[in-house]
Every structure is written in C-alpha cells, then in structure tokens.
Amino acid sequence: MSDIKSFIGREAPITPYHATEEKLKAFCAAVGAKYRGEAPPTFMAVLLPGMFKLLDEIGIPLSAVLHTDQEYCYKQPILPNDRLTYVTKLVKALEKQSKTGSMKFMVFETSVTASRAGGSDIEVGACKTTIITRD
C-alpha cells in the first residue's frame, strides 16, 4: 500500500440517500429514541458508507477499523422524504510504526445536502469522523 498521506483530499463519489419516514423511524427504534418527526441526532451515521467506500479504495478492511470520535453539526433538520446527497473526503491521515505493526489515524469530513419537493437544496449538516486502524 502506498503512503497513506497520498490519499489525503480523496473524495468518495456524491451519493444519494433517500431519508424516508420508515428509515427515520427504524433508526430511532434502533437507538431507543422517540420519533419526533425529524431525523434523530446521530442519523447521519447512515452516511458512513461514504467513508467505507474510501477505506475500500485505500485498501483498509473495515474489520481493522476502530471509530474513535464522531462529530455532527446541524444546520437544518433532516425531514421525512428528504433526498440527501453527501460527499465524504479524507482530510487528515497519519501512519505510525510500532513493534506490533503500523497504526493509521484518519479523519473524514462529510457535507450533507437535502433536496425537498418544490424547494431548493438545503445544507442540513456536516459530519467529522475519526478512526484508527491496526494492521
């Protein structure tokens, strides 16, 4: 595998996600949350597959990944039937060697936009995901 730093700036393709009411309710049920007519706070976790795609391209198996930090910023609520589009980008990457192998540290940022019927696109929020991986 080439130097992890060479992947900084790489983006996953823009991906659509249809946030149906059924998906919002299923997510609420999975985290034991009350459904309040909009996406619960950690719903943008459904967009982690953007990072999974980048990890796959870099050649890192998902099972080697430990999620250490997650941050969400909310600009507008995600509402039922929103069509989300998102772009995930690798913004930081470091590799450290140790006796037991190498450890990588990576930060991904994702910006999320919603389109609604009859309206223009709205920036709903952003995600910052920090992971470490062990070989």
Partner 1 sequence: MTLTAGTEIPFIRLDPITQPQLRRYADASGDHNAIHLDEEVAKSMGLPGVIAHGMLSAGFLGERALRAVLDEAGRNDLHMTRLQTRFKSMVQLGDQISVGGVVKEATPERVVLDLSAKNQKDEIVTVATAEFSL
Residue ranges that bind partner 1, judged by CB under 8 A: 23, 26-27, 29-34, 36, 40-42, 45-46, 48-49, 62-74, 77, 134
Rounded to a whole number of angstroms, the minimum distance from the CB of residue 6 to partner 1 is 25
How many helical (H) and strand (E) elements, i.e. helices and strands, does the chain have?
A: 2, 5
Alpha carbons 125 and 109: distance in angstroms, whole number = 11
Report the residue number, 10 or 53, with the smaller CB distance to partner 1: 53
Q: Which is nearer to partner 1, 51 or 90 (CB)?
A: 51
The SS3 assignment for 55 reads helix
Q: 115 to each of 69, 79, 93, how far by Cα in Å? A: 28, 10, 32
Tell me whether residue 92 or residue 134 sits nearer to partner 1 (CB atom). Answer: 134
Least CB distance to partner 1 at residue 73 (A): 5
CB of 118 to partner 1, least distance (A): 23
The CA distance from 38 to 35, in Å, is 7
CB nearer partner 1, residue 10 or residue 25: 25
Contact present, 11 and 88 (Cβ < 8 Å): yes
Distance in Å, CB of 121 to partner 1, minimum: 20
